[in-house]
Amino acid sequence: MIRGPRAIAVFASLLLALSLAAVGVSHLYRPERTLDLTPPQAYMPAPQPASGLAGRGHRDGRRGQLVSQRWVETIAARTGIPKPALRAYADAQLGETDGCDIGWTTLAGIGWVESQHGTIGGRRLRADGTSSRPVIGPALDGSGDFAAIRSTAQSTAWHGDPTWEHAVGPMQFLRSSFDPWATDGDGDGTADPLDLDDAAATAASYLCASGADLDTGAGWSGAVLSYNRSGEYVDLVRRTADTYARRAERH
C-alpha cells in the first residue's frame, strides 16, 4: 500500500486526469453562448504532421486506406493514439475535404476530448474503427448545463431515446449535424457515426464547411468553435492537438 506524500501525489495525478476527461465530456452539451472569437496574439494554428503521409490516392493494407500503414504504426507508438483512430484522422486529412487544409492532429484533438478515441468508459477501439460498445452521449434534456433538444424519429433510430436527443459515436455527432456532411471515410458504402473512419471524415467536412482558412488562428478557432461553442473546449482541443504534434515529431 502506498502511504504518505507519494500516496498524495499519486492521488493528485489521478484526480487531474479525471478532471481533464470530465471537462471534455461536460462541455460537449452546454447551450450556446456568445464568445469572443479573437485569438490571442500567440495563438497556434492547427498543427500539421511534419512528414510521412502517403500521397493522395494511395492504398495500403485495407480498402480505402490512404495513409501508409508504416506511418500509422510509427506515429501511434509515439503519440499513444490507437492505430485505427490515427488511420481515420490521417485519411480524413488526405481526403482533401473541399480543398480544406484540415490537420490530422486537430481531428485527433477532438477525438480525444469527445470520447478518448472511442475508448471512453473502458471501451476498446476495434480494427474496423468501431468501439466495443457504442458511444452514446447523455440525454440533452435541459438539466444542469445540458441544452434541451427533442429527439426525432430519425435520431431515435440511432440512440433509442424517443424523447431526448443524444450525441452518438466517437466524434459525438447529433443526427442533425451528421446527416448534411455524412462521409464514407473507409469506402464500405455506408457513412456510420459509430465508425471512426466515417465520423472523422464527416468531422473534417463539417469543420471545413465555413470555407475559413484553417491555417490561421481565427479560422481554426472559429471552425472548432462551430463544433462546440465553448472557449474552454476550443483551448482543450488546441492543447491536445499540439501535444500530439510534438509527440509525433519525436525521433
Name the 3-class secondary structure at 44: coil
How far, in Å, are 7, 58, 97, 228 from residue 100 at the CA level? 48, 19, 5, 20
Instruction: Report the pLDDT averaged over residues 202-220.
Output: 88
| C-alpha–C-alpha distance, residues 75 and 105, integer Å | 11
pLDDT at residue 22 in the model = 42
Which residues, other chains included, contact 166 with Cβ-Cβ below 8 Å and sequence gap of 6+?
136, 137, 138, 139, 140, 151, 155, 158, 159
pLDDT of residue 95: 83
pLDDT band at 216 (very low <50, low <70, confident <90, very high): confident
pLDDT > 70 fraction of the chain, expressed in percent and rounded: 73
What is the pLDDT confidence band of residue 222, given thresholds at 50, 70 and 90? very high
Contact 66, 91 (CB under 8 A): yes
Q: Give the orientation angle of helix 231-248 with respect to helix 4-26, to 10 degrees.
A: 120
Mean pLDDT of 206-227: 88
Q: Choose between 64 and 51: higher pLDDT.
A: 64
**What are the pLDDT digits (tens) for 85-129?**
999 999 999 886 666 788 899 999 999 999 999 999 999 999 999
* DSSP code string of 81-127: --HHHHHHHHHHHHT-GGG----HHHHHHHHHHHHTTTTGGG--B-T
The mean pLDDT value for 204-225 works out to 88
122: Cα separation from own chain's centroid: 17
What is this structure's pTM? 0.78
**Residue 53 one-letter amino acid:** L
pLDDT tens digits for range 151-174: 999 989 999 999 999 999 999 999
